[in-house]
Amino acid sequence: MTEMARKRRWERFVDRASGKALIVPMDHGLTFGPIPGLNRTDDVLRWLTPEVVTGVVLHKGYAERLGGVPGCGLMIHLNGALGWGDTPDVKHRVTSVEAALRLGADAVSVQTDFLPATASHNLRLVGEVVDEAHAYGVPVLAMVYDKSPVVEGALGRLRHVMRAMVELGIDVLKVTAPADLSNIPELIDGIQPHTPVLFAGGALVEEQALMELGSAVVRYGAGGMCVGRNVFQRANPRATMERLLQLLRAGMPALDFKRLASIGPAEMVR
């Protein structure tokens, strides 16, 4: 009964010109503290604009400090843990869907770090959040990370966890892209047609690598990107977002990165 409401709310996170989401998560402060790029609110507000960002992910307090970022989708992150705590991969609820809605949220998100010791906690958490959010017609994004130290079978393990999230009713997935981007079709097979899969930017990398990920998103038909540190930790975050947005809209292959980097704001396609 709430499917239409969830669909309408999720559309606020999607760029109409490309059909892709370009979301900036900034929930890092709870986990890592005042890291570069997120230390001063004024610095964030200088580049954060709906002209280049389709949505943001924020904890409730920082969402208020940023004024809710009018004009783009607002997603409130519901769980977390201190990075130096004794169980950093066990992310506990820190707020509710109802509290997120009071802030004007269009969606909510949860992070799940999967290890054998955390699997049961994560499944219970996601199941409860989905039931709560869907009762209000609110879509849920699950940030899914495989934290197993075992490299063998990693793609299959992640596919299993992604399918588990689908079974629990999640609306959108955020995952880390495989090291070999050509494995993306196998990773999202059977999921992307009904559940958008967004790829995380991860730790700060060369901008060329970020653009190659954007190209892969277009090439393989993924749902978009959810890029935090690779945006707000750059010298010019807005310029990076403009290039990513242009890439998603034009479907430009990575080999044209140098031409893309030369495009000025006035030439950006809206």
Look up 147 and say whether it is catalytic.
Answer: no
Look up 174 and say whether it is catalytic.
Answer: yes
Residues 259, 230: Cα–Cα separation, whole Å: 20
Tokens of 50: 């709906």
Q: Which of 145, 147, 220, 258 is catalytic?
A: 145
Q: Which of 20, 62, 91, 174 is catalytic?
A: 174
Q: Which residue has the tokens 């966890």?
A: 161
* Terminal Cα distance for the chain, rounded: 34
Burial zone of 260 (CB within 10 Å; 0-12 exposed, 13-18 middle, 19+ buried): buried
Tokens of 61: 């307090």
Q: Are 172 and 38 in contact (CB under 8 A)?
A: no
- Of 214, 226, 156, 228, the closest CA to residue 181 belongs to 214
3-state secondary structure of 141: strand
Residues known to be catalytic: 145, 174
